[in-house]
A = this chain, B = another copy of it.
Amino acid sequence: MAAEATYRRPEIRKDATHNRWVIFSQARALRPSNFKSKSDANPKSNNQSECPFCVGHEHECAPEIFRVPADSTSDWKIRVIQNLYPALNRELNFPSCPSDSSHCSGDVAVSGFGFHDVVIESPVHPVHLADLSPAQVGDVLLAYKTRIDQLRTFDSIKYVQVFKNHGASAGASMSHSHSQIMALPVVPSAVSARIESMKEFFEQTGKCSLCQVGRDDLLIDESTHFLSIVPYAATFPFEIWIIPRYHSTHFHELDSDKAVDLGGLLKLMLVKMSLQLNNPPFNFMIHTAPLQVNPSQVPSTHWFLQIVPQLSGVGGFEMGTGCYINPVFPEDAAKVLREVLIE
């Protein structure tokens, strides 16, 4: 971390997109730990011959929804399949209230209707998303879009969350490169809060908070249609946001050209992160608008992709307050990621 001379004083910043405080404190990076073993962030995975996501093992998977290319029999590049252990059930009727709890108690429940899918990003085990070409990463992004276009035909589906877990400490239970898509019958409160917060910003400034990101010291890279930055009040060290440079409310507005462009920038960020941070486990999440968006929210709502390397755990403070402590100032993180040399 920074030498004593360049030591910054702690600062509490507000993230305008989420309306959330984050504490920046370099001192926190100096803590020693008296626990002997640090868990191996990314333990070796089992023999790939046991992997149901590998080509040739399709019969060990839950049913396929579609594959890319669509007409291929064995030489698929991407498969979108049902999750074998789904959090939500695609066969339940909706709406219905399975809870026998008395409503005067305030106990509210809806049945767990919804879709939980897996996107297998490559047919072969050792190939990770960052190893694919920009066009191939673009194809994965277009597979998300195609699936969202199917899911949004269901009236009762309110929000679709696309996310990726890479590495055991990022929550992954499978090591074969994949991501997940969950379609929910409710709008999660963090999503409503974000939409609300962006709307407030718009009302105060007349501008969309994400069309707005213009600080050079936070910029990492840019492509024709996208920017990558470390956000001003990044929740996690070396967190990255990839933001469309054009105003766009929903991720599923993405077209093929923009998908390749985004694929290239996403790949670049994953490669840079891997080089600078020693191949960390990571998550990425696509933050888009609820499917049925109020027209008044369109000017202020802008989708983006958030990448979070898993470098440190959290504790009771974050669980209690929702306020995170980040030991790396965003300007410093952006510099580190901007200045990587890729051969």
Binding site for B on A (CB under 8 A): 9-14, 16, 18-21, 23-25, 27-28, 30-40, 43-46, 50-51, 85-89, 92, 98-99, 101, 104-112, 159, 161, 163-165, 168-176, 180, 182, 184-186, 188-191, 193, 201, 204-205, 209, 212, 214-215, 232-233, 283-287, 306, 308, 313-317, 319-323, 325
Contact = CB atoms under 8 A, between A and B. Distances in A.
Nearest to A288: B320
Contacts of A314: 171
A-B complex: 9 closest residue pairs judged by Cβ atoms: A10-B112, A171-B315, A39-B39, A163-B316, A190-B322, A285-B320, A188-B321, A283-B316, A33-B173
B89 A10 contact: yes
Nearest to A320: B285
Given A9-B89, A9-B111, 20 more contacts: A9-B98, A9-B112, A10-B92, A12-B111, A21-B186, A23-B112, A24-B112, A25-B87, A30-B85, A34-B46, A34-B50, A35-B172, A87-B325, A106-B204, A106-B205, A159-B321, A170-B316, A190-B321, A190-B322, A193-B193
Contacts of A209: 106
Q: Which has the most chain B C-beta neighbours within 10 Å: A18, A176, A316?
A: A316
Nearest to A97: B11
A299 B37 CA distance: 47
Contact of A13 (B16, B51, B109, B325): B109
